[in-house]
Amino acid sequence: MKKYKKMLIAFKDPELNCFANKGDWLYIARKKDTKKGLFRLPRYIHFFASINGERMPSEFRVVKNIDTPITAMELAELDYKSRNKDIQLLTDETVKEYEWFLEKVNVHPEHTPMAVTWFEKILPKKERSLRLLLIKNKMKRLIKIL
């Protein structure tokens, strides 16, 4: 399995709706993850959750190089453990989702701020999917933090 050298890392800034601890690894929040009443987002914007026992929400995050490369399977196991789910429930299809995430993250240079939004298609049938985006409009504020 391919190893990846970059990961989305949290920075703590309540003004930017980033409540995960600085340095926490982040993954796209699941349906059962909540914003814990800390902030509100428009319907089309989604958020990330830290991959630890706290599962703290964060609207933005930054691409960083990590010391030890990680595989999609290892990331999936970390996420499942943080959600208190049995690792035996992991399927190849689920691991492919984590692979997709790591591929998207590793394309970007270090210190690139990112967000996640919902992409909706109405025709030919109504579909909703997540997509990772570069942050441009809040870039100046994020660069000061980094």
Least confident of 16-30, 33-47, 76-90: 33-47
pLDDT higher for 1 or 2? 2
CA 133, CA 117: separation in Å to the nearest integer?
Answer: 7
The token pair at 106 is 């590793």
pLDDT (tens digit, 9 = 90+) per residue, 6-26?
Answer: 999 998 988 888 889 999 999
Q: pLDDT confidence of 89, banded at 50, 70, 90?
A: very high
Q: Closest Cα to residue 59, out of 137, 144, 1?
A: 137
Q: Closest Cα to residue 65, out of 25, 98, 100?
A: 25
Q: pLDDT confidence of 38, banded at 50, 70, 90?
A: confident
CA 96, CA 64: separation in Å to the nearest integer?
Answer: 21
Q: Name the β-bridge partners of 117.
A: 45, 131
DSSP string, 93-146: HHHHHHHHHHHHHHHSPTT-EEEEEEEEE-SSS-EEEEEEEE--TTHHHHHHH-
Q: State percent of the chain over pLDDT 90.
A: 45
Do the beta carbons of residue 62 and residue 143 sit within 8 Å? no
CA 97, CA 28: separation in Å to the nearest integer?
Answer: 10
pLDDT averaged over the chain? 84
In the predicted model, is pLDDT for residue 115 greater than 50? yes
CA 63, CA 29: separation in Å to the nearest integer?
Answer: 17
Do the beta carbons of residue 104 and residue 132 sit within 8 Å? yes
Report the side by side order of strands in the sheet with 113-121: 3-9, 61-71, 113-121, 127-134
